[in-house]
Chains A and B, each alone.
Chain A
């Protein structure tokens, strides 16, 4: 549990006002990221994101065949779960992390559960009866602030890395449909992840906004707004959290502009990185299932 004294808080707030945060960043600077994909066995896709070496998030994606949502019979289904591991902090042990898990899961679900993010229709196998269910399983191993953004980047990377096995739908003589899932590991389709957004969280500290807060800065923030941006620059979702203060509508517009600018830069970098990972991947993975 990180604690902070009123005097340190004041120092931090002053710094943000002067555009020099404790680590030297300006209000809109992001910390360095690392992304690794495809490192977890037993999943269809996975990614690990480390923010400044301190926030560590692992996302695994599994796809299974099952029943579609009765409200959306011709679409695939999404199940998102976020779990904060007690390894990140002893206060996450037992029920301690429940609230945190619920908030983070809801945030991710809201961002992805949209028809325009992933082509859910393509994940339908037979309308009303069978579809692909995409299980997104997130594990927070270490936390040093800004879990929202780290999770969204990790999720997008994991979904990009996901390989959905090719299937053959056959009609049997008795009129029933049988699904045969291909065993061949090189026989797969990819999810179309180009439209998946990532989130940019703006935290309000004092009278200013900062991007990518550290855990000490999160202790000083009054409210936060998490804005999901996709590669076209569209705003996919806006979620506000935090106990105190509302947001001035005039400020709001400015915040959206900044979030959009930052989001687009992050997305471009992430896409380039993921493409590079892809090309490296194919050369090393030769016949892993003997």
Chain B
């Protein structure tokens, strides 16, 4: 049975797998693992499969449901995760579910009434109200009727923006976005990449700058923006990393060329290589791939025989990370 003392555990009767496997509840990563032949593997469940027999005290998270016998069953195919009493199943590939506070990159799909509708690879388009946006002029001011008519001049259809998921979702499940801070706003002069939302882990920082002059925004929703690093503006307190619509009026977008452009291509191909191998995408893994691809041209990184090679280091890093977490459990007592 499970290895550590936790009151809620006594009440729960965790489903035992086969007799020759040991069930461990890895507290740190909260992923349910099984030990088969001495190697730890994550446990994958399929829809309708039993997770917990007596679930009266458990909380049903995403991907689970309670049946009429009070058992907890899985509704998707994925990995079982547990945070104290909350049990959820994370599908291997799914639309972005959305969490408050997440940084996302989105594309404007529609302008209606006082709001923009934004595609963020979720089940429904997110909503961004006029009142949640910083208008040109910088300082907060009252929204006039003129603003409503000029919404298109701020963000037009098909524009890309970076925003934050704001408070609670709407009643119909769609999320609300805001671009209140100066680090959010319209994205220009760069490349957009789309990956599976599950591959972008939640971290403290989603705006990353690489040494070789490339900036990325890793949206939690799997939409990624790559551009050239802009120099910090000495006059302002915070750097203005991206052009807002106000700036666009003032100066022509700078044309990115030469080495900068090549580096952007490289980062893009590195991200796609990570996706093809189903590896998590964050700065360390992107750097791993770029390091390994130093000898070749960026266009070669997309070849199907090359991608496993350049992602080897990144894979090793992930394996090592998982093993480190495993080792804690094994040593910590069972």
Residues of A whose CB lies within 8 Å of any CB of B are 3-8, 10-11, 14-15, 18, 20-26, 29, 31-32, 34, 52-53
Contact = CB atoms under 8 A, between A and B. Distances in A.
B139 to A, nearest CB: 26
Nearest to A20: B261
- What range describes how many residues of B lie at the interface? 20 to 34
Given A5-B107, A15-B261, 6 more contacts: A3-B158, A7-B159, A7-B189, A7-B190, A11-B191, A23-B265
B187 A7 contact: yes
Contacts of B96: none
A32 to B, nearest CB: 5
A26 B262 CA distance: 11
A22 B189 CA distance: 12
A232 B188 CA distance: 46
Given A5-B160, A18-B257, A23-B265, A11 B190 contact: yes
Nearest to A7: B188
Contact of B302 (A3, A7, A10, A32): A32
Nearest to B243: A7
Nearest to A50: B304
Contacts of B117: none
A59 to B, nearest CB: 21
B269 A23 contact: yes
A24 B255 contact: no
A8 B107 CA distance: 12
Contact of B255 (A14, A22, A29): A14
Interface centre among A24, A29, A52 (most CB of B within 10 A): A24
Interface string B290-318: 00000001111111100000000000000
B304 A32 contact: yes
A139 B233 CA distance: 54
B262 A24 contact: yes
Given A5-B160, A8-B192, A22 B302 contact: no
B107 A24 contact: no
Given A5-B107, A14-B256, A18-B261, A23 B299 contact: yes
Interface in B188-215: 188-192
B299 A24 contact: yes
B83 interface: no
A11 B107 contact: no
B100 interface: no
B160 A8 contact: yes
Contacts of B303: 32
Contacts of A26: 299
A160 B253 CA distance: 51
Main secondary structure on chain A at its contact with chain B?
loop
A18 B253 CA distance: 16
B241 to A, nearest CB: 15
B265 to A, nearest CB: 4
A146 to B, nearest CB: 15
A18 B259 CA distance: 11
Kindly list the 10 A-B residue pairs having the minimum CB-CB distance in the complex, ordered from nearest: A24-B298, A24-B299, A7-B188, A24-B265, A25-B299, A5-B158, A3-B158, A5-B159, A20-B261, A14-B255
A10 B189 contact: yes
Interface string B161-191: 0000000000000000000000000011111
B268 interface: yes
A5 B253 CA distance: 14
Interface centre among A6, A18, A23, A53 (most CB of B within 10 A): A23
B253 A10 contact: yes
Contact of B265 (A4, A6, A22, A34): A22
A10 B190 CA distance: 9
B266 interface: yes
Contacts of B276: 53
Contacts of B269: 23-24
Contacts of B299: 23-26, 29
A24 B256 CA distance: 14
B302 A24 contact: yes
B261 A52 contact: no
A24 B191 contact: no
Contacts of A18: 257-258, 261
Interface string B36-75: 0000000000000000000000000000000000000000
Contacts of B191: 8, 11, 22
Contacts of A10: 189, 253
A79 B66 CA distance: 56
Contacts of A34: 304
A15 B260 CA distance: 11
A273 to B, nearest CB: 15
Contacts of A52: 302
Interface in B262-276: 262, 265-266, 268-269, 276
B159 A24 contact: no
Contacts of A32: 302-304
